[in-house]
Structure 1
Amino acid sequence: MDTSTARRNILARIRAAQGREGEPSDAEREAAVDYLTRHPEGPRPELPGDLIERFIVEARKMATTVDTVDTMNDVPAAVQRYLVEHDLPVQAIAWQTLQDLAWADAGLEVEFRKPQDADKVGITGCFCATAETGTLVLLSGPQTYASAGLLPETHVAIVPASRIVAGHEEAFGLIRSERGELPRAVNFVSGPSRTGDIEQTIVLGAHGPYRVHAIVVRDA
C-alpha cells in the first residue's frame, strides 16, 4: 500500500474544506521553509564535542549494547562475535543495502528480505543516530524495510560514525535536506522495546526486540 498517496489525498480533502487548492502553491511551500528556517529552537542541553562517545554512553543507558569497529569490512565478524557470545542464532535477515558485506566469510547465514515469524535476528543500517539520547533513526524504503528492526527478537544496527548527529532537531533537518518528503515510516529506536504497565515492572521485548545491539563504524 502506498501510504504517501493516501496521505496526500487526506491532506487535499482538508485543504478543500478550507477553500484552498488541493496542492500547496510554491508560495506556500516557500513560506513553510522560511518559517522552519527562522523559527527559534527551544532550550537544549550542551553536548560535548565527541558525539560518538556521547552516543555510546547514552545508548548503553537505554540498554542498547554497543561495539565499535574501524571499517564496514569489520562488521560481519563483529556481528558473528556478538551472536555467538550471547548464544544466539547465526542466521539472520538484513536490509538489501548490506548485501555486499562478506557475511558468509564470517560464518553467518544472512538473507536479504523482510522478516518472517521464525526469524530471530534482524540486521539493519540506520539513516542517522542521535548522540543526545543514544537513539537510532531508521527510515523505511524498498531496501530498508522497517520490519527488519521491529519483528526479530534481536536487532543489530550498523551505525556509521559520520551519521551521528547531536539531537533529534539535527536528525529531522538531515531528513529534510537529504530526502525532502518523509518516507512511509520513520522509527526512532532508543534501546529494546519495553513496558512498565503491569505494577510498574519494566519488561523488555513487549512490542519489539528484546535486544538492540549497535555497531559503530568509525571510518564510515
Structure 2
Amino acid sequence: MSARDEILARVRAGLAKGDAGARRTAALAYLQAAPPGPQPTLAGDLLTRFSDKAGSLASTVERVADYAAVPARVAAYLAAHDLPARAVTALDVAGLDWAAAGIVSHSGSAVDADPVGITGCFCAIAETGTLLLLSGPATPASASLLPETHIALVPAARVVATMEDAFALLHRERGQLPRAANFVSGPSRTGDIEQTIVLGAHGPCRVHLIIIEEES
C-alpha cells in the first residue's frame, strides 16, 4: 500500500464511509422515501398557463397542429424578424423537412456562425414557463445555448404542471440525470450593469416556442 492509499484509507475509516455504491443506493432510497413538499394548484389549462408564463419571460409562443407544419412556421418567424434562414438542428428534430421551407440546416453541435438553433425539449413546466432540456448525443446543449436565436419545439403532451413533476418524469423515463439538464426560462438576461436588463448576455437573445398539439 502506497502512502497515498494509506492516507485515504485512514480518512475513509475516520469518516466511517464504506463502499461508494452502497452509499449511493442508500441515498437514493432515502430520497425516494421522502414525502413530497406542498404543490401549487394551477388553475385552468396547462398549455394556456405555460404560454402565458413563457410570454411573461420574453419568449414568444405559437401553436401548430402537427410536426409537418413546423418548418413553414419557423421560416415565417425568421422572415418576420429579418433573421437568416440558416440553422443548426438537434438530431431529434433534424428529420423535419427544413429544406422544403427554404431553411439551410445542419445537425449536431452548434458553431459560432450558427444564427439559429432549433431543438426539441424533454418537457416543459407550466408553473414557470420553463423548458427542461437534456444533453445527449442527439441533443447537444450548444444548439440551444450558442446561437442568438433559439427555437424550441414543445409537444403539448410533454407539458407538466410543476418542476417536481418534471423531475419525476425524468426519473421515471431515464432513471438518472444526464451529463447536463438545463432549465430555460426565456432569453438569457442579466442586470449586472446599473440593474438594466440586457437580453442575450450569456446565451440566446430571443427564444421562440412552438407547441405541437398532435398526440404522440
Question: In structure 2, what is the equivalent of residue 147 of structure 1?
Answer: 142
User: Are 2:124 and 1:129 aligned?
Assistant: yes
> Percent identity among equivalent residues?
56
Question: In structure 2, what is the equivalent of residue 103 of structure 1?
Answer: 98
The answer to whether the 8 Å contact 1:16/1:22 transfers is no
Say what the alpha-carbon RMSD is for the aligned residues: 2.0
Structure 2: gaps spanning 5 or more residues: 1-8
1:78 positional shift: 1.1
Match for residue 21 of structure 1 among 18, 21, 24:
18
Question: In structure 2, what is the equivalent of residue 4 of structure 1?
Answer: none
* Alpha-carbon distance in 2 for matches of 1:200, 1:99: 39
Larger radius of gyration: 2
User: Are 2:71 and 1:76 aligned?
Assistant: yes
- Which digits, 9 at most, give the CA deviation of each residue in 1:129-167, with x for residues without a partner? 000000000000011000110000000000000100001
* Alpha-carbon distance in 1 for matches of 2:99, 2:45: 34
Question: In structure 2, what is the equivalent of residue 59 of structure 1?
Answer: 54
- Which digits, 9 at most, give the CA deviation of each residue in 1:105-134, with x for residues without a partner? 111111002111111100000000000000
* Secondary structure, counterpart of 1:200 in structure 2: coil
1:50 positional shift: 1.3
Structure 1: gaps spanning 5 or more residues: 1-12
- Which digits, 9 at most, give the CA deviation of each residue in 1:58-108, with x for residues without a partner? 000000100100111111111111111111010000111112211111111
Query: Structure 1 length as normaliser, TM-score?
Result: 0.87
Counterparts of 1:1-220 in structure 2, within 5 Å, are: 16=12, 18-25=15-22, 29=25, 31-219=26-214, 220=216
The residue type paired with residue 158 of structure 2 is: R
The residue type paired with residue 21 of structure 2 is: P
